[in-house]
Amino acid sequence: MRHRLGNRKLSRATDQRLALLRSIVRSLFIYGKVKVTLTRAKEARRMAEKLITATKANNLHARRKVESVLHDRKIVTMIFKTYPERFEGRPGGYTRIIKIGARRGDAAPMALLELI
């Protein structure tokens, strides 16, 4: 059964949705925080948590797995240098979502996705 296993479609085709989430996660890793809508933040959080968990293994398979998602070798190298030590004793929950109110134009709920 596949009950309750779906993901949010974000009103986009699969390739567009993955590109959007990859760019959000890439920006999160570069800047440490990113301001997006609440639903996008929740989906990007899933992807970011899995990638940070993969960096803890710190082997070739994990590096290739992260690089297949982010498509940027410089960011992958930076992640593997800093995040395993930074999140060493933490079993999960590497990101935080802070609700920051509604967007002025369309009243979409906005959130700040940041690394802890």
Structural domains of the chain, count = 1
**Residue 22 domain-assigned?**
no
Tokens of 55: 């960096």
pLDDT tens readout for residues 93-115: 999 999 999 999 999 999 999 99
Opening angle at CA 17, ends 56 and 92, nearest 5: 25
**Residue 17 domain-assigned?**
no
Instruction: Quote the pTM value.
Output: 0.91
pLDDT tens readout for residues 1-15: 878 888 889 999 999
pLDDT at residue 30 tops 90: yes
- State the residue range of the domain holding 86: 33-115
Q: What's the Rg (C-alpha) of the chain?
A: 15
pLDDT tens readout for residues 66-89: 999 999 999 999 999 999 999 998
**Residue 21 domain-assigned?**
no
Here the CATH number for the domain that contains residue 66 is 3.90.1030.10
